[in-house]
Amino acid sequence: MSEPAVPSRRSFFELVTMALGGIASAALAVPFIGYLLGAIRKNPRRWLSLGPVGQFPLGETRLHPFTNPIRQPWDGMTAETGVYVRNLGGGDFLVFAMNCTHLGCPVTWFPQSGLFMCPCHGGVYYENGERASGPPPRGLFRCVWEVRDGQLWIQAPFYPTLQNSPENPAPP
């Protein structure tokens, strides 16, 4: 009569090694998957109505302030933001994030000179948003917009950066 096979010490340690390897792999995979999911959640896009298109006079640039719907409770005043809207006519608009492309200070529109100026380091932009002078590396960030039911809608701006701008969002 044959006795049941008893696993050898070697096969026992092989099983233990594989089990520990599986646990270690799972422990490493959890933060990696969390990172990937976090990157997807980090780029929320919400549409925000700026109101009827008729409130933006033809050929004028207007600041439209609003509270950013993409905000955290601790954002405080920084959630108060806005966009500059220029009605080009024929249903066409320029919509700029108000943040300077240098370090993000809010720029101010001066209709007398037709320039946007940044108070922080002297960045200057033309009325079409292109960089005129100073340290900004590029023109103002343009928001994604569309007209729906007579209202001007924009994709609610997250804080724009050179790597993740409204017109060129970073991949999730």
Binding site for ligand FES (CB under 6 A): 100, 102-103, 105, 118, 120-123, 134-136
Task: Provide φ and ψ at 42, rounded to 5°.
Answer: -70, -20
* Closest CB to ligand FES among residues 94, 118: 118
* Closest CB to ligand FES among residues 137, 171: 137
User: Which residue type occupies 7?
Assistant: P
* CB distance 84 to 95 below 8 Å: yes
Min separation Cβ 142 and ligand FES, Å: 17
* Closest CB to ligand FES among residues 95, 100: 100
Edge-to-edge strand list for the sheet holding 151-155: 47-52, 151-155, 145-148
Min separation Cβ 141 and ligand FES, Å: 12
Min separation Cβ 99 and ligand FES, Å: 8
Burial class (CB in 10 A: 0-12, 13-18, 19+), 9: exposed
| Closest-CA residue to 162 (of 119, 103, 107) | 103
Min separation Cβ 161 and ligand FES, Å: 12
* Closest CB to ligand FES among residues 99, 155: 99
